[in-house]
Amino acid sequence: MGDAGNPFDAVLDDSLDVDRPGAKRRFDFQPVGTAVDMGCAPDGTPLIDPRIFASGEFRRNPYPYYRIMRDHYPVFHDRLHNCYYVTRYEDITAGYFDEIGFNTIPKGSSSGVLGNTQLELSGIEHRRRRNIYGRHLVGAALTKRLDAIRELGQDLIDEWYTPANPKGVEIDEVAGTVTLELGAAFANEFPISVVAQVLGIPQDARTQFTWWYDAMMQGLGGSDTHHDGLVARQDLEDYVGSLVEERRHAPTWLHDASGVPICLDIISELCTSEIDGDVMSTEEITSFVALVVGGGGETTRGAILNLWYLLLQHPEQWQAVRDDSSLWNTAFHEMLRHSTSIGGQPRHNTFDVELHGVTIPAGSLVHMVDVSANHDDRVFSDPERFDIFRDDLYSEKILRSGHDGAATDGRWSHMAFGVGPHLCPGAWISHQEAVIGSQILFEHMPNVRIAASRMAKDIDGESLAPIGLGAIRELWLTFDRPTA
Amino acid sequence: MSTSQGHGVDAHTGEEDPGEPDERHGYRTYEVYQRERVGETTNLISPRQLVGDDYLSDPYALVDVLRENYPCYRDWVGNRFWITRYDDVTSVLADTANYESRPRAHAYLAARNGRSLWGELVIEAALKRCIDDALDQVIGRVLDGVADVPDLATSFAARLPLELWSEAVALEPHERSDFARRLWRMHRGAGWDPIDRVAGAAAFDELADFFDARLRRSPDGDDLVSAAARLGATGHDLVVTLLEADHETLHGGLANLWFQLVGHPGQLQAISTEPRLMKFAWLEALRHSPAVIHAERFARHEVERFGRLLPEGALLWCSTAAANRDPRVFNEPDTFRVDRTDLCQREPRGQYRADGLPSGIAIGLGLPSIQPARPKERPRSRYALTEDIAVRASRSLLERWPAIALAEGASPSLRSLRLGDMHTCWSLPVTLA
């Protein structure tokens, strides 16, 4: 035996204990707003274990962790997932406007299924493509089509009481009530119908559209459903391919309520537009369509469900919206601030960047965490509170430049649509869909309330589950059966 | 399209459109993107499997799937590209023009200074001298420990490198346990775990303080610290040097070698009869069961390789585990054979295929391409030094206990304790006679 024994014995005690704290961490569910104790640095700074990001606890209760990151690690280097998180409102805003420093090359997990989309373009290339179809989703072209959107919503509601009952509506004749799942009955299809129409895809392809959308969304991220996503993508490409051939020769138009042509539908516009003297390829158009399918479906579906879920849990605010339908706009924006279904946007830094003392090497994946920015108490007071009357949220016309409260009136735009050149092009139409859809629903659901017994519950087994990241999957509602 | 180019009123906001930004460096053309077509089907594996418990215990089954189906696999969860075929991995490791490694010490150096001294000839010479002078004595001490506690993973494989480091930095016997604990914590803390990072940073500072005190002594000795003192190095420099030195390959390599030998008694018997085979057994263990099962490389700039466009900064996760068992290169790659004839049986110099035969890729031992044949007056490479230590110690062990065998009832296994840690045997009980 050596003079002092085996020096490795000291290591054995120290590091090889598989039961030591953190060796095999399971993140138990915590009360909403409370973070799992992941240990502290000697100065008391709480630690963030990057495994938390893949946990169920984080998905249902993300905000206390983002608070730790904002307060202590405004640039958090996640070495396990090889990326950086930027979490403060001010930093994210600056990053979105800095197209040179933070480019869109990251090839987020979407490109594996959706193909190369404008999400990954910058500067001139991005702007040229976006401008081709962007005008269909805003301004006069949108305003003239609001009646058509309303009509699509009404068509869906009309199906509730047809004998075939395709929406699975449950009618209790004795109690005189109707119970339905809002997603299945309305919110899943409504945005897709709107998107299909504005794209110029015939409404009879709506069922297929739903499958394209579902399969492609589930196939993102190289998961085991990736194959299904690619099959759907190929099917969409085949379908769009034949449509493109038709539209190149015979473009079709969108019309207002009186049948007056407004503008070409988006596919026709893409088919007949030239970029740098060249028409767009079918593949490129398909990627556009795939992106719009993805971007225009899930986000608005989630917005409608989250909006109703939150409002119905806050009776005084729900009453205010009932009394003044213009408050749907405000409620929509506050819902997006509080519980947007899009977590953030990836960027790559073009050069080495030093931010808050952290050097981010060029080419790193930087997650701009929009949901964290929306809960940054440097900007929004008591950010975890849902309050359509808050005075620090800008909720008027959506601006690409954002609304800077410090330079104006103390109100800030939320980050759910991003800001800057890549501001969500569907922001305006999504807003209209959610508000118009909600207004129609309100008209047809008297005395509506959440069917609590059918809803997912939180860890106490009684209160309703929090929304967490993304959107709730189901929203069961009960209302009095309309008399006429 | 009236809105497609030039200045005008923004249809979205009604604001004045500032016009298109100037073309400048940093924007990529759309055609470049188009070369990376819609992703291939990768349904045979989920990226979550690559961070799961199965990967920690048996990475080979999973990396086989990658190597045979997705040789450049885009891992969305880990944000990396897995490179798994032998020729691909060696081409990346050797291509320092396109790919770079990033020092481990980055994990600690944001708040500290320090530089690795491994480029200094006197440091490498001092290490060689210390090891050559002390090796026999250290091996004797370690084997005495094996007699007391017959577990080759802890008493032999883990202890030997720690004892050698203790000799190299001239530690007193009572200082060795603390040194080992700190060194180990510091190495582990360079990974992704924040709890280990805190402990590692504290160990880094404690070691730096310890060496600062040592460096202030008269630098007359032959050890590594004295050589560093003569260079004017600081405690931080010495600690960074220790951090960047390979520790896992000798420790894990020895454990894995003996894991294979006691698991293949026939081959152990062959080595008893023909001791020169121990060197081949070491090389075969490095190939068959490398302790360091991956290496990180980052794309220095946008590179088109493996049918993909790898963006600047992309992480290439070069899997030694997969490459060393590539059936395109090695016959029956999953079989451990000390008499393998398709493996280069000397230190590869300047290339991975010295003598026309492939070498097992051993990340921790340095790259053949950057460790070319050295003039006689230069010290042996760390590759050769490590091989000498492992082979001499293993031969001594076998000479002392020719009937060494796996303890009855023992069922050892290889395992990484955490993602990124070495894949080795942590407990290998044996009977000595």
What is the rounded distance in angstroms from the CA atom of residue B73 to the CA atom of residue B200?
32
What is the rounded distance in angstroms from the CA atom of residue B416 to the CA atom of residue B398?
27
**B298–chain A Cβ distance below 8 A for any pair:** yes
Contacts of A230 in chain B (CB under 8 A): 38-41
Q: Where are the extended beta strands (E) located within A36-181? A: 75-78, 83-86, 102-103, 170-172, 177-181
**How distant, in Å, are the alpha carbons of B127, B159, B278 from that of B261?**
29, 19, 10
* DSSP output for A267-311: HHHHHH-EETTEEPPHHHHHHHHHHHHHHHHHHHHHHHHHHHHHH
Q: What pLDDT is recorded for position A207?
A: 73
Residue bearing the bigger pLDDT, B201 or B44: B201
Residue A417 parent element (H or E): none
Residue bearing the bigger pLDDT, B38 or B247: B247
Res B364 pLDDT > 70 = no
Q: What pLDDT is recorded for position A21?
A: 57
Min Cα–Cα distance to chain A from B144, Å: 5
**How distant, in Å, are the alpha carbons of A48, A188, B124 from that of B225?**
37, 69, 12
Min Cα–Cα distance to chain A from B330, Å: 30
Residue B309: strand pairing partners: B304
Nearest to B12 among A122, A138, A275 (CB): A138
Could you tell me which chain A residue has the CA closest to the CA of B76?
A: A221
Q: What angle in degrees, to the nearest 10, is found between the helix axes of A282-312 and A226-249?
A: 120
Q: pLDDT by residue (tens digit) across A256-273?
A: 778 888 888 888 888 887
What is the rounded distance in angstroms from the CA atom of residue B370 to the CA atom of residue B348?
11
CB contact under 8 A, B33 and A116: yes
What is the rounded distance in angstroms from the CA atom of residue B245 to the CA atom of residue B235?
15
Contact A367, A86 (CB under 8 A): yes
Q: pLDDT by residue (tens digit) across B105-130?
A: 777 776 778 888 988 888 988 998 99
Q: What pLDDT is recorded for position A111?
A: 62
CB atoms within 10 A of CB B312: 19
- Tokens 């081409």, located at residue: B91
CA A238 to chain centre: 27
Residue A356: strand pairing partners: none
Tell me the pTM. Answer: 0.88
Q: What pLDDT is recorded for position A291?
A: 79
CB atoms within 10 A of CB A133: 21
First to last CA, chain A: 94
Nearest to B312 among A363, A398, A425 (CB): A363
Residue bearing the bigger pLDDT, B301 or A113: B301
Q: What pLDDT is recorded for position A193?
A: 87
Q: Which of A77-81, B20-24, B151-155, B332-336 has the lowest mean pLDDT?
A: B20-24
Mean of pLDDT values over B188-201 = 90
Find, among B361, B97, B93, B124, the residue nearest to B228 by Cα.
B124
Which one of A26, A65, A77, A80 makes the best mutation probe of the B interface by having the most chain B beta carbons within 10 Å? A80
Could you tell me which chain B residue has the CA closest to the CA of A128?
A: B4
The values of phi and psi at residue B217, to 5°, are -75, 170
pLDDT of chain A along its 484 residues, tens only? 344 589 888 887 766 666 665 566 789 999 999 999 999 999 999 999 999 998 999 999 999 999 999 999 999 999 999 999 999 999 999 999 998 888 876 555 556 677 667 676 777 777 777 777 776 677 777 787 788 889 899 999 999 999 999 999 999 999 999 999 999 999 998 998 888 888 888 877 777 877 887 888 777 766 667 778 878 888 888 888 888 888 988 999 888 778 888 888 888 888 887 777 777 788 778 778 877 877 777 889 999 999 999 999 999 999 999 999 999 999 999 999 999 878 888 888 989 999 999 999 999 999 999 999 999 999 999 999 999 999 999 998 888 889 999 889 999 999 999 998 888 888 888 899 999 999 999 999 999 999 999 999 999 999 999 999 988 999 999 999 987 6
Contacts of B79 in chain A (CB under 8 A): 81-83, 365
Min Cα–Cα distance to chain A from B208, Å: 18
CA torsion B376-B382-B383-B384 (nearest 10°) is: 50
Min Cα–Cα distance to chain A from B111, Å: 9
Contact B30, A278 (CB under 8 A): no
CB contact under 8 A, B4 and A131: yes
Contact B261, B280 (CB under 8 A): no
Residue A181: strand pairing partners: A476
- Tokens 């393998």, located at residue: B340
What is the rounded distance in angstroms from the CA atom of residue A74 to the CA atom of residue A87?
6
Min Cα–Cα distance to chain B from A433, Å: 17
Residue B157 parent element (H or E): none
**Torsion-angle region of B409 (φ positive above 0: left; ψ -120 to 50: alpha; else: beta):** left
What is the rounded distance in angstroms from the CA atom of residue B293 to the CA atom of residue B424?
10
Show the 3-state SS of A305-374. HHHHHHHHCCHHHHHHHHHCCCHHHHHHHHHHHHHCCCCEEEEEECCCEEECCEEECCCCEEEEEHHHHC
The values of phi and psi at residue B112, to 5°, are -140, 160
The values of phi and psi at residue B295, to 5°, are -135, 145
Nearest to B141 among A2, A83, A362 (CB): A2
Contact B260, B336 (CB under 8 A): yes
Q: pLDDT by residue (tens digit) across B79-104?
A: 899 999 999 999 998 888 999 988 87
Nearest to A4 among B176, B181, B184 (CB): B176
CB contact set of B178 (below 8 Å; sequence gap of 6+): A10
What is the rounded distance in angstroms from the CA atom of residue B381 to the CA atom of residue B400?
28
Which one of A1, A3, A8, A273 makes the best mutation probe of the B interface by having the most chain B beta carbons within 10 Å? A8
The CA-based angle B162-B163-B169, given to 5 degrees, is 90
Min Cα–Cα distance to chain A from B194, Å: 6
What is the rounded distance in angstroms from the CA atom of residue B53 to the CA atom of residue A169?
44
What is the rounded distance in angstroms from the CA atom of residue A398 to the CA atom of residue A428?
7
What is the rounded distance in angstroms from the CA atom of residue B381 to the CA atom of residue B368?
10
Residue A325: strand pairing partners: none
Nearest to A399 among B13, B188, B419 (CB): B13
Q: For residue A174, what is the DSSP state?
A: T
Q: What pLDDT is recorded for position A144?
A: 77
Find, among B426, B399, B279, the residue nearest to B345 by Cα.
B279
Instruction: Please list the alpha-helical segments (H only) found in B246-289.
Output: 248-263, 265-273, 277-288
Nearest to B180 among A11, A227, A283 (CB): A11
Contact B144, A2 (CB under 8 A): yes
Contacts of A134 in chain B (CB under 8 A): 3, 11-12
CB contact under 8 A, A139 and B12: yes
Q: What pLDDT is recorded for position A341?
A: 79
**Mean pLDDT for chain B?**
84
Nearest to A112 among B39, B198, B417 (CB): B39
CA B22 to chain centre: 45
Contacts of A226 in chain B (CB under 8 A): 39, 41-43
Half-sphere exposure of B432 (CA within 13 A, CB side): 16
Contacts of A78 in chain B (CB under 8 A): 192
Rounded percentage of chain B residues whose pLDDT exceeds 70: 84
Residues 139-178 in B contacting A (C-alpha not used; CB under 8 Å): 141-142, 144-145, 148-149, 154-155, 158-159, 162-163, 166, 173-174, 176-178
First to last CA, chain B: 88
**B192–chain A Cβ distance below 8 A for any pair:** yes
Q: pLDDT by residue (tens digit) across A129-182?
A: 777 777 667 777 778 778 888 989 999 999 999 999 999 999 999 999 999 999
CB contact under 8 A, A6 and B154: yes
Strands A476-480 and B99-100: unpaired
Could you tell me the two tokens for A77? 């280097």
CB contact under 8 A, A400 and B15: yes
**How distant, in Å, are the alpha carbons of A61, A156, A482, B24, B322 from that of A177?**
34, 19, 9, 63, 62
Q: What angle in degrees, to the nearest 10, is found between the helix axes of B277-288 and B248-263?
A: 110
Q: pLDDT by residue (tens digit) across B133-144?
A: 999 999 999 999
**B2–chain A Cβ distance below 8 A for any pair:** no
Contacts of B158 in chain A (CB under 8 A): 6, 8, 11
**B375–chain A Cβ distance below 8 A for any pair:** no
Q: How much is the ipTM here?
A: 0.85
Contacts of B191 in chain A (CB under 8 A): 79
Nearest to A350 among B26, B40, B173 (CB): B26
Q: Which 3 state secondary structure label does DSSP give B403?
A: coil
Could you tell me the two tokens for B31? 């055609």
CB contact under 8 A, A222 and B47: yes
Q: What pLDDT is recorded for position B21?
A: 39
